[in-house]
Amino acid sequence: MAAQFDITNISNKMNHDDSGKKKKSLSTTQIILLGFFTTIMAGTLLLMLPIATVAGESTSFVDALFTATTSVCVTGLVVVDTFAHWTLFGKIIILLLIQVGGLGIVTLTSGLMLMLHRKVTLSDRMLIQDAFNLDTLQGLIRFIKKAVAGTFLIEGIGAFFYMLVFIPEFGVKKGMFVSIFNSVSAFCNAGIDIIGPTSLTEYYNQPIVNIVTMLLIVLGGIGYVVWFDFVLTTKKVLQKRYRITSIFKRLNEHSKLVLITTFILIFTGAVCIFLFEYSNPDTIGSMSLGNKIMNSFFQSVTLRTAGFFTIPQQKLTDPSFVICVIMMFIGGSPVGTAGGVKTVTIAVAVANVRAFIKDKDETVLFKRKVSHALINKALAVISFSFMLTLTLLMLLILTNPLEIKNAVFEIFSATATVGLSRNTTASLNTVGRLIIIAAMYLGRVGPISMAIAFRSKNQQKGGMSHAEGHFIVG
């Protein structure tokens, strides 16, 4: 409590001048929102340059804004073919925007400050803490260093394995660029590629492309905190010569929850897709058993907010469609590159429901009590996200003549920053594209963050306590 008190006092002093008057300053949440917005606008202007578009093509402001937003928000929905519409310059700009969006504005800015040997102030540390939703100010600089280094290492390894396939197919120069682009896009859960208009459908039977893509998506989606905990725990186990099988037991409760929830969701999704699409000739019906299994897992993994696909989404059966919408809404895990309401959010909500049904006073996960504040936040995130998605869905239906399934799929994909589409995105009118842009931005920064950023600064916790009311629920 003493440490928190000191930090609060210092933070308050930073917002006051020498005379004691409160200065007008942006909150950390507002700075993060502004950072994403500024990066998107800069990307938009760069993509509107003639040098970014191939000869004979032009890019309107809305299309450039859409492309910049889908890149920075690591979504993957596109209104023009990435491989054909943009020049090498344009593709490099998109790649950089994906990397910035995946790592986060704050991460890259902090990393650049460290490279330039600039001092990271307390306000910078508080910004990093808020950006990653961490509960401590300790070790933040070390965290940033490891996050950046780990990201580039994994993307580099992914690119190397991609090159084994893409260099023989496209040649050295193009094969290397395609490999790097795909690796960054997969790890950042963006799902944008420069291979062709049908994503990875031509590689449905290529194990290297499928497995590497799935691993990159999962590694990016589970979050940096889980990485570091797993690496540190593994080192301790090896140093003290414990059983390798004891690694999982020694992880912290957050890592355990993320890994178990992620495994359950991916496995359940894959089984459902396999069963529902087994006899569908338009998806996996005509594939061999091995390819059916691999593509079922790929579809389940890509729903973690990646956006790549090996089977046409508009050809999925109705039961698979429902599974896809649910999985997209859940998304990946906290402190990672994925979107959605997050696995831990759903797990906490489910655990709370279980505790209520069993008439338990506490919600417990891995023998650890879940605080009421965390439960309230989980419920708020789910409620806000669902209401936002439904509101944007209504607006999209009102402004575009779409089939209801296509509209639902498009909006859930956008707000969860997934990037999968039933061939709907390019057919949207200007208003529809602006709605999807808003959905992607809000989905990336989070509707809760928007609410916090613009709430009144005069609102304070505590104060007057109200008498308990009598309400009937259920």
pLDDT tens for 78-122 read 999 999 999 999 999 999 999 988 876 556 555 555 555 556 555
Please give the residue that has the higher pLDDT: either 373 or 278. 278
* CB 226 within 8 Å of CB 255: yes
Instruction: Indicate whether 75 pLDDT > 80.
Output: yes
Q: Which of 85, 101, 88 is nearest to 42 (CA)?
A: 101
pLDDT tens for 19-56 read 555 555 666 667 677 778 888 999 999 999 999 999 88
- Section 350-360 average pLDDT: 93
Instruction: Indicate whether 224 pLDDT > 70.
Output: yes
Angle between helices 372-399 and 318-330 (to 10 degrees): 130
For residue 147, with 0-12 CB atoms within 10 Å meaning exposed, 13-18 middle and 19 or more buried, which class applies? buried
Please give the residue that has the higher pLDDT: either 412 or 11. 412
Half-sphere exposure of 163 (CA within 13 A, CB side): 12
Q: Please name the helix (run of DSSP H) or strand (run of DSSP E) that holds residue 368, with its range, or none.
A: strand 368-369
- Banded model confidence at residue 456, pLDDT cuts 50, 70, 90: very low
CA of residue 92 relative to chain centroid, distance: 21
Query: From residue 445, how far is each of 53, 120, 336, 360, 441 by CA, in Å?
Result: 29, 23, 13, 34, 6
| Poorest-pLDDT segment among 7-21, 102-116, 212-226 | 7-21
Determine if the pTM surpasses 0.75. Answer: yes
Please give the residue that has the higher pLDDT: either 413 or 444. 413
Instruction: Indicate whether 473 pLDDT > 60.
Output: yes
What average pLDDT is seen over the chain?
Answer: 85
Q: What is the pLDDT of residue 196?
A: 86
Angle (CA) 237 239 242, round 5°: 40
CA dihedral 170, 173, 174, 176 (to 10 degrees): 100
